[in-house]
């Protein structure tokens, strides 16, 4: 699918350029250890980062392709699901790995959270390491980050999927309702049964924002085409309802939910549930070609290759590139607390991944319609109504 890059204004080089380079996430490199670190050496590429900090609601100005010559110690606290979750943890950690690869003077490490009870202890442990910035992965850590950041005013923090919680905390957010809208329209265009489905890991805004967009995209298709494609598992008008696995790791639960949707007639499934969604891939694979999946966060054909044959596409967000860019900014000496970046279609912070094995099966007119819808969302002609959109 053709991607159009429209930058958002920042001081110096815009973050849109950084995200344009990696609009669809590359295949993450997994780590076998529960904690990993890299020691700097004397080799480092040239810097192109300006010294000034970006304005509010913008992102770090250093491009991931041109790392800072400075040094920094970046420590990441992962959410539950592990570093190999094929989703937001893995992609976020990939961003630090990419920063280190470009500039070995950026030291990186991560610690995994086995449960939500680990958030505060893990954040405090990373603070004690003397990190230049502690990066928290996932909006569920918002309260813990706010508390620990307030108790450590001289420590820099960043949090993915949450706005800034204070003067020393930088928010990295994504309006994935926009990408989800494209995914919903695609699903409605491709269904043969007239029923599609979505479910989440937990009923929280970073999850339901995707589901809202997907639902809206289907409604838009119905409006434009005079059709009545149904969405199982979610209705944006009922934010307290819907289908949720209550887990981001339980693949059996994901498979069970998907099999239930299939039994109700759905033939395209959109799981917003991290590793739990791999169960949807397994269920679709077992259908013998009758069911397909739209993956989430990363390009599923790169992060979960075993199910590429059933992945119609993926609704992605620029996790890896945003983390890389933030790491480069910290290494260049920038302090970015008290503000947030929001990834959108316009700056390639979200969107659709390539169709891969389905490329020849998606009609040319559908591809053209998706391009036009993307443009209309960027221009404001199409208004997204999800209440979970970051502001």
Q: 278: closest CA among 297, 298, 306?
A: 306
Same domain assignment for residues 121 and 180:
no
Q: What is the mean pLDDT of residues 282-300?
A: 97
Find the domain containing 33 and state its range. 15-175+318-343
- Are residue 305 and residue 328 in the same domain, yes or no? no
- Distance between CA 35 and CA 51 in Å, rounded? 32
Pairing of strands 195-200, 230-232: parallel
Are residues 170 and 30 both part of a single domain? Answer: yes
Under a CB-based contact definition with an 8 Å cutoff, are residues 315 and 296 in contact? yes
Q: What is the mean pLDDT of residues 48-66?
A: 35
**Is 138 found in the same domain as 270?**
no
- Does residue 323 form part of some domain? yes
Q: Are residues 28 and 63 in the same domain?
A: yes
| 308: in domain | yes
Same domain, 102 and 232: no
Nearest to 371 by CA among 379, 241, 45: 379
Look at residue 16 and tell me whether its pLDDT is greater than 50: no
> H or E element: which one contains 343?
strand 339-343
What's the confidence (pLDDT) of residue 67? 55
Domain co-membership, 92 together with 222: no
Distances 137 to 142, 227, 274, 312, 327 between C-alpha atoms, Å: 9, 39, 13, 27, 14
- Helices 176-190, 205-225: axis angle to 10 degrees equals 40
pLDDT in tens, 23-55: 333 333 333 333 444 333 322 222 222 222 233
Do residues 111 and 156 both lie within one domain? yes
Of 8-12, 94-98, 214-218, minimum mean pLDDT range: 8-12
Backbone angles phi, psi at 138, to 5 degrees: 110, 140
In a domain, 256, yes or no: yes
Angle, helices 319-331/88-102, rounded to nearest 10 degrees:
40
> Which residues share a beta bridge with 292?
268
Q: Which helix (H) or strand (E) holds 5?
A: none
Residue 232 lies in a domain: yes
160 in Cβ contact with 169 (< 8 Å): no
What's the number of domains the chain is made of? 2
Q: What is the structure's pLDDT at 31?
A: 37
Q: From the centroid of its chain, how far is CA 17?
A: 17
Residues 163 and 202 in one domain: no
Query: Distance between CA atoms of 78 and 3, rounded to whole angstroms?
Result: 30
- The answer to whether residue 2 sits within a structural domain is no
pTM of the entire predicted model: 0.82
Distance CA 278, CA 267 (A): 16
**187 and 168 in one domain?**
no
pLDDT for position 120: 98
Measured distance CA(64)–CA(81) in Å, rounded? 26
**333: which 2 tokens?**
């000496």
Dihedral sign for Cα atoms in the order 210, 216, 221, 227:
positive
Does any domain span residue 171? yes
Q: Is 135 part of any domain?
A: yes
Report if residue 6 sits inside a domain: no
Tens digits of residue pLDDT in 89-121: 999 999 999 999 999 999 999 999 999 999 999
Residues 144 and 34 in one domain: yes
Count CB atoms within 10 A of the CB of residue 357: 14
pLDDT grade for 87, boundaries at 50, 70 and 90? confident
Taking alpha carbons only, the member of 191, 212, 144 closest to residue 350 is 212
Q: Which CATH number belongs to the domain containing residue 259 in this structure?
A: 3.40.50.2300
Q: Are residues 256 and 107 in the same domain?
A: no
Res. 229: pLDDT tops 70: yes
pLDDT 10s digits, 151-163: 999 999 999 999 9
DSSP assignment, residue 106?
Answer: E
């Amino acid at each position: 699918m053709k991607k159009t890059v429209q930058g958002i204004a920042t001081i110096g080089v815009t973050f849109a350029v950084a995200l344009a380079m990696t609009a669809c996430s590359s295949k993450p490199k997994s780590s076998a250890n529960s904690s990993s670190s890299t020691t700097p050496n004397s080799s480092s590429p040239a810097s192109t980062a300006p010294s000034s900090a970006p304005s509010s609601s913008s992102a770090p100005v250093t491009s991931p392709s041109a790392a800072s010559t400075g040094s920094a110690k970046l420590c990441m606290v992962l959410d539950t699901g592990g570093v190999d979750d094929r989703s937001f943890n893995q992609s976020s950690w990939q961003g630090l790995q990419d920063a280190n690869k470009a500039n070995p003077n950026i030291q990186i490490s991560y610690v995994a959270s086995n449960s939500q009870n680990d958030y505060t202890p893990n954040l405090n442990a990373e603070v004690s390491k003397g990190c230049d910035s502690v990066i928290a992965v996932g909006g569920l850590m918002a309260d813990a980050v706010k508390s620990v950041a307030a108790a450590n005013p001289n420590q820099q923090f960043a949090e993915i999927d949450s706005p800034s919680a204070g003067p020393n905390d930088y928010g990295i957010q994504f309006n994935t309702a926009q990408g989800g809208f494209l995914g919903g329209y695609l699903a409605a265009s491709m269904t043969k049964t007239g029923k599609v489905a979505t479910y989440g890991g937990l009923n929280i805004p970073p999850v339901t924002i995707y589901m809202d967009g997907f639902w809206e995209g289907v409604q838009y298709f119905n409006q434009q085409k005079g059709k009545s494609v149904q969405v199982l598992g979610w209705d944006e008008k009922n934010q307290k309802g819907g289908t949720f696995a209550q887990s981001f790791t339980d693949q059996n639960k994901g498979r069970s939910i998907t099999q239930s949707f299939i039994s109700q007639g759905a033939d395209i499934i959109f799981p917003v549930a991290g590793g739990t969604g791999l169960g949807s891939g397994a269920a679709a694979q077992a259908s013998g070609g009758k069911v397909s999946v739209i993956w989430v966060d990363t390009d599923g054909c790169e992060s979960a290759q075993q199910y590429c044959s059933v992945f119609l596409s993926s609704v992605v967000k620029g996790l890896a590139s945003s983390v890389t860019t933030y790491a480069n900014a910290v290494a260049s000496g920038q302090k970015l607390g008290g503000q947030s970046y929001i990834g959108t279609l316009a700056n390639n912070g979200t969107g659709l991944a390539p169709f891969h094995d389905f490329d020849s099966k998606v009609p040319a007119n559908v591809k053209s319609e998706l391009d036009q819808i993307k443009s209309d969302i960027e221009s404001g002609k199409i208004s997204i109504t999800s209440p979970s959109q970051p502001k």
